Structure 1
Amino acid sequence: MELALGFGFEFEDSVFARSRDRGRGGGCAAYTAKRCEPQWFCEDANSEDDVEILTAKKFRGDLAYRQQEFQKALYEYSSCLLLLPSSNVAMRRDVQEGQARCLAHLGRHKEALDIAEKLRNGATNTDHLTTVLNLQFAIYCRLKNIEKKITCLQQLISLHPFNPWNWKLLAEAYMSFLQTLPPSFISEMKLVQCKDCTAMDQVFQTSPGLFGKEMNLQCYKTLSEREDVWSTLSIKTTRDNSVSYSDSHMVEGSLHITEECETRDKMKHATFEFWGQEALKDVWIKACASFVRTRLLLQITRLQQSSFALEKNLKVQRETEDKVKGFGLKEESLLLITEVMGEDLIPEKLKEDVQGEIKCVGPSALTSLVTTSAIEFEGKWFKKLQDSLSL
């Protein structure tokens, strides 16, 4: 004490004063928590509290959406949005997302995409952009637009390169692209030529294929003798598209296609144009590489998981492993793909991504965070593989 006074310091008397007695609740008025019955928001509220009214409408919309009553959910979301102040940005974005998802389920895809575009233009952080991309992906799933689905997934991966679930979806989208090609188109593509078979035999081996038939990528002298995986794709696509055959045409080997299927085939030809005339075998490599990347990320993240999350992780790992085996890759080729797709898996980077830092930037800066084209994305992730495998 004397030392403190010697330096000119003095203590306030209040420091040594006896503390005043405080009752339970800190001297404030008693607080009674509000008790809400299940689905309390379904009842017509007579409350004058604007927040409670908005919350009730939002919850009614959420419940209707969960019960797949999309028209009712859309009404609740729309009425809630009319009352929401412009300053409540978070809730407005949440409600607008609900509107877009309802519209997509109701078949009003253009309106849903318009809302998604407005949300994207108003995004100010990476969390906003991630939500919008997931929304757009869901809408394009309803539209069965594979190119747009792939674009959304590529942009999501640009934001979150260590998310295994987006990589899994991307791999499945690449496979879906192959399955949607019309039989006539696959037969037109002269994929199995002697010079190509030499390169392919260095990468693939005969093994059970992804469609329950052996992948035997060998050279045949005539087109009629070719029994490779692309023929399997042709058969599966025919079944999926419900193409009708007449018995006589089946004997002659001719294909009878309805008008609807012809139109669909034209759209699928346009789909292939989107890929810049890229060889289908390259798409297989991208699909396989994406599955390998998924497996690597799941193996790393499982060390931090437990309970049902770990159970789901291990289940998807087994499924992914089976899909990778289905490609029939030789061991050296699989090791190469694993090495290339795991080059950036550094613990420090993974830790940063798991923390999920939200970057708050302007809309223009957000655009620069995502890959703008398939060529740019695939050049970054797959070009080294294509060059190394000489495909």
Structure 2
Amino acid sequence: MEVFGSTFDDSVFEGAREKPSAVSQSPYNAKLCEVEWFSENIDTEDPLEKQKIFKFRADFAYRRKNFQEALNAYTSCILYIPDGNLTIRRDILEGMARCWCHLGRREEALSLTEILKNDASNTCHLTCLLHLTTNIHEHFGDLRGQIEILQQLCSLHPYHQWYWMKLAESCLHLLQTLSAPTVTPGPPQDEEADGHKGARIQERLKGERDHVWLKACMCFVRSRLLLRTLKGQQSSFVLQNSERAMRKADEALQYLEPRETTLQRITEVMLEDLVAERMKEDHLDGEGLAGLSLNDFQDRWWNRILQAEVLI
């Protein structure tokens, strides 16, 4: 029988080893930069330093709303970005897109968002890109384009109440625009042909108004359901914002005046996937990038609303 402790290694009882003496290090001297140091003439051949200088110049000019100057600096900066530095490249392309937007060049801005879309590799990248694209459409007053991108945001983040609220408000704004009377003066033409043409236009407008009206009702109901579901987890100014948004949704639905049966059927469809397990935090990062398109929104909610035979 072994006595407790008789099998300990002798090294346990050896004296402590001496610690090696610390290696002497030279003191750290922080680099000091003059105010607006990046505005000076470039006297370096280092591509990384050139990239930093042009990036600072561009950001500074953008902040001062010198968008053409910022665009020129961003364009110069991108020439010195290594192929593997996708983060800086994405940042520069986003800055260029915003500059083109402020300069009134819509096509150039949207062409850069297409490049960014091809480079998106995760949910965060795509979310930032969709935000940028929405802002471009909003800047140029393109409500239809804005609604299309917001639908993609709602597909990517199906439990994000503010995306649904923004989509609902955009649909309401488009509905009000379509409902406004328009007068198109022109030379006198054949009254009968003119009447047929006017009737077709009015019929098409009515169909679009009904479509947008139903989508506005659907999105306001969805945002109100989400706000009520998350209300119990909120406090302070966050809760106040949610309560304010709920009142706005209620007022909008009163303005839209859906029938009680319509409201009930919409609520049933929009409530189906609001299950606590699916709405946990680990599900709030989006549904993934694979195959995300406008059809996701159509198939997941819109077509089911239509199949429910909702009365307009």
- TM-score, normalisation: structure 2: 0.75
Aligned to 2:303: 383
Give a deviation string over 1:329-355, Cα, whole Å, max 9, x none.
355543443332122112232224565
The CA deviation at 1:32 is: 5.2
Aligned to 1:145: 142
The CA deviation at 1:71 is: 1.0
Aligned to 1:17: 16
Q: Does the 8 Å CA contact 1:295/1:320 hold for their aligned counterparts?
A: yes
Q: Does the 8 Å CA contact 1:160/1:353 hold for their aligned counterparts?
A: no
Aligned to 2:40: 44
The CA deviation at 1:35 is: 6.5
**Secondary structure of the residue that 2:104 maps to in structure 1?**
coil
The CA deviation at 1:389 is: 2.7
The CA deviation at 1:288 is: 1.2
The CA deviation at 1:57 is: 3.1
Alignment of 1:290-305 (within 5 A): 290-305=219-234
Aligned to 2:185: 257
Alignment of 1:48-67 (within 5 A): 51=48, 53-67=50-64
- TM-score, normalisation: structure 1: 0.62
RMSD: 4.0
**Secondary structure of the residue that 1:119 maps to in structure 2?**
helix
The CA deviation at 1:94 is: 0.9
Aligned to 1:371: 293
The CA deviation at 1:91 is: 0.8
Give a deviation string over 1:24-47, Cα, whole Å, max 9, x none.
xx975544555778x656543878
1:50/1:289 CA distance change after superposition, 3 Å: same
Alignment of 1:1-391 (within 5 A): 6=7, 17=16, 20=19, 29-31=26-28, 40=36, 43-44=39-40, 51=48, 53-181=50-178, 233-235=179-181, 238=182, 255=183, 257=185, 278=207, 280-306=209-235, 308-331=237-260, 333-352=262-281, 356=285, 366-368=289-291, 370-373=292-295, 377-386=297-306, 387-391=308-312
Q: Does the 8 Å CA contact 1:41/1:57 hold for their aligned counterparts?
A: no
Counterpart-to-counterpart distance in 2, 1:19 and 1:346: 62
Specify every segment of 5 or more residues in structure 2 that has no aligned partner in the other structure, as ranges: 188-196
Q: Does the 8 Å CA contact 1:340/1:385 hold for their aligned counterparts?
A: yes
Specify every segment of 5 or more residues in structure 1 that has no aligned partner in the other structure, as ranges: 182-232, 239-254, 260-265, 360-365
**Secondary structure of the residue that 1:17 maps to in structure 2?**
coil
Higher relative CO (CA 8 A, sep ≥ 6), structure 1 or 2?
A: 1
**Secondary structure of the residue that 2:252 maps to in structure 1?**
helix
Q: Does the 8 Å CA contact 1:45/1:53 hold for their aligned counterparts?
A: no
Q: Does the 8 Å CA contact 2:168/2:219 hold for their aligned counterparts?
A: yes
Q: Does the 8 Å CA contact 2:58/2:71 hold for their aligned counterparts?
A: yes
Q: Does the 8 Å CA contact 1:64/1:70 hold for their aligned counterparts?
A: yes
Q: Does the 8 Å CA contact 1:47/1:53 hold for their aligned counterparts?
A: no
1:148/1:353 CA distance change after superposition, 3 Å: farther
Instruction: Give the counterpart letter for 2:40 in structure 1.
Output: D
Q: Does the 8 Å CA contact 2:231/2:239 hold for their aligned counterparts?
A: yes
1:258/1:88 CA distance change after superposition, 3 Å: farther
**Secondary structure of the residue that 2:278 maps to in structure 1?**
helix
Counterpart-to-counterpart distance in 1, 2:10 and 2:257: 80
**Secondary structure of the residue that 1:347 maps to in structure 2?**
coil
Deviates more, 1:83-92 or 1:63-72: 63-72
Q: Does the 8 Å CA contact 1:125/1:358 hold for their aligned counterparts?
A: no
Q: Does the 8 Å CA contact 1:77/1:98 hold for their aligned counterparts?
A: yes
Corresponding residue pairs, total: 297
The CA deviation at 1:93 is: 0.6
